[in-house]
Structures are given as C-alpha cells and as structure tokens.
Structure 1
C-alpha cells in the first residue's frame, strides 16, 4: 500500500453535513428578491443552487435585465448567511466520526468548493482548528467558479502548503475524485448516507463508509 505524506479532506459531506436543498433554495430566492426579481423561474433558482457557470450566470442576468455580478454577490451573501444560521441552529452538524481526523498521523488540510469564509466558520465553530494545517475554499467571486473542483487549483495550493509529495484526498463526490486524480493524488470516496448509492464514472482509489477506515489506509 502506498505511503502518503499528507491527507486532504473535503468539508461538506465529509466533515460536516451538507446543506439541505430547502435551505439552499430559500437562500437563492432571497438573493433574487434582493436584486428586484420576486418570482424567479424555478430552473434559474436551481441553476444558481449548484453547478452554475459564469456563462449560465450571464444568461440568467440577461433574462431579467439585471447585472449578473450583482446577482452573484447577492447569491453568495445569502447562501453564506443561510449556512451560518443552519449551523448555529443545530440543523447541520459535524459527523460523529470526525474524531478520527485528529488521529491521522500526517499533515492535514481541507479543500472545499464552499466559500473560504464558510470553511473558516466551520473550523472555528466545530473547533477543528487544531486538526488542520491548511484550508482552502473559494473566494466569493464569479471568477472562482472556474477554479472549483474538479479543477485542481485549490488542491494544489493546499498540497504546496503541506510540503508537496504524495497525498490522499477524501471526498464525497465525483468532482473530488476527479480533482484528486488530475492532481496526481490517490482518492477516497466516502460513501455517506447521502451518496451511498451514487454511481461514479471514475474509479476512486479507495471507498470507505466512515472516516475511521482511514487508519487502515495509512
């Protein structure tokens, strides 16, 4: 079995529970309302909830004759605040097996497609600070959309912070596996309940159901 110099973790779905669809949808609807769109198309709401690109954002802005950057800024603000509120209200929590992270005998980092500021909040709120040596989320800008995983941008930055070398990336989505492999890293697909039955088009190096299984890999 390979020896790894570091371990990287996704956040949502790996360290903490992912946001609910209802919470995300409500945040996007609030964002539309804040820029003067009271009854947005359901498809546009869904587009802004996940998988949005700068091209899609431009199309949505044109559909309502609004500045796409203003819409995006509103989207990011309301999405971020909805996440903070969910954590504070106890509607989202850390997973019970995250105690296993501190037992990983390697430098550790977090790389997420969520906002960098939200990752900062998560690390502080759940007292993860001592568990990780570096962390990256994306900036709340339109430009950051092109840097999301499976782009390797933030994965490579985190790996550089940890001294380079070989690493293992732990995620719960196909984009995590793709980002790891494109960066030359091995991957763990963590089959949490929300992704237990997901079919992947790319094979992860390993599959686990809990973080406790990391000890055997390392």
Structure 2
C-alpha cells in the first residue's frame, strides 16, 4: 500500500522556522513579527497565500508588485530556514516500521520545492520517500487533487492512504477520492468533526494500525 504524507503540521512542526523568516521580512518593513499562533493559522495553502495573509495581518497593502517583492524575499530566506523544525513524536519510528513492512511512502506538500528539499535533506528524510511532489512542481496546488494524484502515479498507482493535518489536506483527499487519516496535533483550525476523514490519530504510534485497517478495507472492497 502507498502512504502519502503532507509535510508541515503532519510530519514536522516548521512554524518556528517560518516565524523566523517572516520576522526578518517584516522587520525590514518596520512591522512587528508574527506570533507562532498566527504562523500556524496561515500555513497550509502554499507560500504565496501565507505571504498574503502575513501582509494583511500587518496592514501592508497587497499590490501585485508588493506581493511579488515580499514573496521573492520570503522564498530567498525560506529555502535556508531548516534549523528550528522538529519531527512530531513517533514520526521517525513510524517511517522505519512502514518501510520495513514494504509500503511505498510519498510526500505531497504545498511547501515550495527548494525549501521542501532543503528540510528533507536537513532532517534526513530524502531516503524515506519513493515520490515527492511539492509546490511549483506542477501547475496546481492542494486542495486541488492533482498533486496527490500525481504523487500516487509516481508511486506506481494502487491503494493509497493519505495522511495530513489540515482542512486543506482533508479536502484534497476528498476531491481525490483517497482515504484520509487526520493527524490532530498539527495546524488544523476547525474542529475534527468538521473535517472529512476516515481515521483520527494524535500520535504516530497509531499509524501502523490505521494502515492495516486501510488495507483490510481495501481488500474487502475488491
């Protein structure tokens, strides 16, 4: 079975890195930094949306030129911002168990390609994934289903479980018609009951059991 993961808010808490980059950008503009709570509420739909939300939160008029300049400055620093990210509890062990069980693992993230690759290298995740689709690699982004479907295609197709933490991930899975496991300790803003999901979990030591249940459900449906 394929298991495809979101990145920020699902596998790693990268909000402190994003906060540091946004603080640097805002300081140059004479604006106060974003709080961690603000950052966590802004992520999930890609860096361009995050920059728009950052500008709105600090009263910066969003003209196309202003957004392009701030977005460019943000990306220039963001691709090197990896030092503060941490794995959520149990993630590394879950990788080892799933790989040892023969599952193919994929990554599907709206995080732009260069920052995504940088944090994968920094945290030793590059060998883990059999396929990676990140922001800008195709002309679409989550919650449109294309990124997830492309990741599944790159994994060779077949039964897939998608694992994410947010409204964006839940909607992506729904549009793609893929079973969804919701990690409840990430950047979700809405109550869990408001998000379509097949499974809920709050620690990655539960994921192997969910994968077995997903496999059983898929077998029964054949």
Instruction: Please indicate, yes or no, whether the TM-score normalized by the shorter chain is above 0.5.
Output: yes
Residues 1:102 and 2:100 are matched in the alignment: no
2:110 corresponds to which residue?
Answer: 113
| TM-score normalised by structure 1 residue count | 0.72
Structure 1 segments unaligned to the other structure (5+ residues): 87-91
- Cα pair 1:16 1:93 within 8 Å, conserved: yes
Structure 2 segments unaligned to the other structure (5+ residues): 213-222
2:30 corresponds to which residue?
Answer: 38
SS in 2 for 1:147: coil
CA distance in 2, matches of 1:19, 1:196: 14
1:69 corresponds to which residue?
Answer: 68
How many positions carry a matched residue from both structures? 197
2:10 corresponds to which residue?
Answer: 14
CA distance in 2, matches of 1:195, 1:62: 27
* Residues 36-83 of structure 1 deviation map (CA, whole Å, 9 limit, x = unaligned): x434898xxx79x545549x58998865794432221112223333x3
Change (3 A) 1:155 1:41: same
- Cα pair 1:28 1:78 within 8 Å, conserved: no
- Cα pair 1:119 1:136 within 8 Å, conserved: no
- Cα pair 1:111 1:136 within 8 Å, conserved: yes
CA distance in 1, matches of 2:15, 2:142: 18
Question: C-alpha displacement at 1:97, in angstroms?
Answer: 0.9
SS in 1 for 2:90: helix
SS in 1 for 2:87: coil
Residues 1:169 and 2:162 are matched in the alignment: yes
* Residues 2-34 of structure 1 deviation map (CA, whole Å, 9 limit, x = unaligned): xxx3110111222222313xx534423433566
2:219 corresponds to which residue?
Answer: none
The counterpart of 1:133, out of the listed 130, 141, 144, is: 130
